[in-house]
Amino acid sequence: MAPKVNCRFSEHAQLLLDGRLPAEQEHEFRLHLEECPTCRGELSRLESVRKLLCDAASAPPPPCDRQALEAAVLGSPPARRFRWWIPALGTAMAAAAMLLWFLLPGGVRPPALPEPPPIPQAPIPAPARQALVSYSGSFMEPAAAEQTLPAVAFGEEIQAGPVAPLALRPAERISLVLWPGARIRLQERPDRSIELQLLSGECTLRRLPGAVPLRIQTGAVALWTVGTVLHVSMDAQGTATAELLEGELQEEDETSSARRLTAPVATSWSAGRRQPDRAPSSRAAEAVRFSKILDPATPGELGWVQVSSSPPGAEVWLEDNRLGLAPVLISRSDGEALELRLRAEGRREARAHVRIEGGRVLRQHLTLEPLPEPPPPAPRPPEDALARARTLLAAHEAEAAVALLEGRLRSRPGDVELRLLLADALRLSRRPEQALDHYRQVARTSRDPHVLEVALFEASRIELDVLNQPARALETLLAARRILPQGLLRQEVAFRLAECYLKLSDFGRAVRALQDYLRLYPQGTRAAEAQRLLSDLAEKGWR
């Protein structure tokens, strides 16, 4: 932030660092700095930038292989191979054109090597190797990307040239990049799934959600992909390696039990034996990154979302596809909206909606809250305690039952059945208000709707019959009917609603409640009483 524009020294800090401030103005500026915190802050900030850049300038660039570089520039044989994908990418489009020749029926196979790239003019001696200079980056242009082939012929062997990768789209939403030298064959299976036979070399594939199933066969190993980003290789010794960066693989192995691989993981199979799992290599990750740039199945600019979770390792789901365990990096087209779901055992599912922004890596961190611990089941009181309390109640020794149950409830406050029986005992011992408290507490804590219905019904009886609180009783009964409309006590609840209206002198509603009762329960236990009440009300003009 530049200093205030009304300060006449606002540009002096920059000029000082430029070395363009005359000596007399510098002296004046130094004096000004002592009294202007804004300019002081500005200078400090710019000097911090200079310090950072100065420190960075002292750091040398990464070391290089001078001999190899000299050989590449001056033409002698290189001591080592350069990064393989650079020349590969450079002639990608040329190779794509070559592939077209391969695939045309009756087409003439081109020579094994592509045309050498243009070499510098004299006086530079022509480089002996395939120089890197030819690569112009044009393959990155959208127009060029559209030139990649929309489909390939099934059944034919396809081989990438010695220099260029091939970007193929064997099916909708499946993209495949063959790296130089790779040989594959693609087959369409009777069930419309695609089979990729990797004969040798390396390839990178991406299967987006909604694509047809994809089976990979390399050597004796067969794998099914599940929304997968995968780098597969087959070396000269017959070792097959699958490096999974997104999604899952289902192994199809007849000699041992099939298993499921979840990203990120790398596994090799050598001489029919599976090697221990390990982490995917940086080479695979880099190949995947480059394959995404070449990816013809992904229109528009790519964007990424890095999904992480607390706790780490949550399952990441996109639509119905499990992408792997967080953290995962998901690539999609610009503007694509994703609904991410993260799951972990013992945690609530976390969801997020993300819209991909081309060229950007969004970070989405989701915290999965732990599920509430289920209350530990209250240990059942010994059956003899409940049975004994019931015996006491049957013998009209309600006070003794109350004492027994209160003592039990102190050690097991969560026991609903014990509390319900205590409420009954309190009601019988003519302590209705205490009984009402316990009924309400049962209604609040019970998970069993039938126990809840009983507690509410009994509470309404005390409110209506003992405490003469018809409004509260009405509220309680309506709650019981709302929670369990088909409860065991529904007939009694319906009748008592009418009683509440009568006590509230709401005769119109009382008539309708009684009529409802008789319509629903014409042979009900309270039908005669309901009929009598309706006659009384009719005599008073309420129909």
Partner 1 sequence: MPGMTGFLPRATPPRLSVPDELLGRCRAGDRDAFRELFHIALPHVRRILYRLSGPVDLDDLTQQAFLEIFRSLGRYQGRGAFSSWVFGICLRLSKKRARGLGRFLRFRERLADALEPAQPAADPESLERARAVERTLARLPFEQRTVLVMFEMEGHGGGEIAEALGIPEATVWTRLHRARHHFARLFPWPQK
Interaction site with partner 1 (CB under 8 A): 1-2, 14, 16-18, 20, 43-62, 64-66, 68-70, 72-74, 82-83, 86, 120-125, 131-133, 136-138, 140-141, 285, 289, 293, 301-302, 304, 359-361
What is the nearest approach in angstroms of partner 1 to the Cβ of residue 25? 14
**How far is it, in rounded angstroms, from Cα 280 to Cα 243?**
5
Rg (CA), the chain: 40
Q: Which residues contact 88 (CB under 8 A, 6 or more apart)?
A: 163, 164, 165, 179, 180
Is 125 or 335 the residue whose CB approaches partner 1 more closely?
125
Output the DSSP codes for 219-241: TTEEEEEEEEEEEEEE-TT--EE
What is the nearest approach in angstroms of partner 1 to the Cβ of residue 54? 5
What is the nearest approach in angstroms of partner 1 to the Cβ of residue 375? 43
What is the nearest approach in angstroms of partner 1 to the Cβ of residue 15? 9
Output the DSSP codes for 140-206: GSHHHHHTS-S---SSSEEE--SS--EEEEEETTEEEEEPTT-EEEEEE-TTS-EEEEEEEEEEEEE
What is the nearest approach in angstroms of partner 1 to the Cβ of residue 272? 35
Is 50 or 532 the residue whose CB approaches partner 1 more closely?
50
Segment (H or E) for 30: helix 23-35
Distances (CA, A) of 468 to 493, 504, 507: 17, 10, 18
Residue 187 tokens, joined: 């087959």
Residue 194's beta-bridge partner residues? 188, 214
What is the nearest approach in angstroms of partner 1 to the Cβ of residue 177? 15
**What number of residues does the chain have?**
543
What is the nearest approach in angstroms of partner 1 to the Cβ of residue 356? 13
**How far is it, in rounded angstroms, from Cα 146 to Cα 217?**
29
Give the three-class secondary structure for 398: helix
Is 69 or 488 the residue whose CB approaches partner 1 more closely?
69
User: Do the Cβ atoms of 493 and 458 come closer than 8 Å?
Assistant: no
Is 267 or 298 the residue whose CB approaches partner 1 more closely?
298
Is 54 or 153 the residue whose CB approaches partner 1 more closely?
54
Is 47 or 529 the residue whose CB approaches partner 1 more closely?
47
Is 141 or 172 the residue whose CB approaches partner 1 more closely?
141
What is the nearest approach in angstroms of partner 1 to the Cβ of residue 118? 11
Segment (H or E) for 187: strand 183-188
DSSP 278: B
Is 65 or 448 the residue whose CB approaches partner 1 more closely?
65
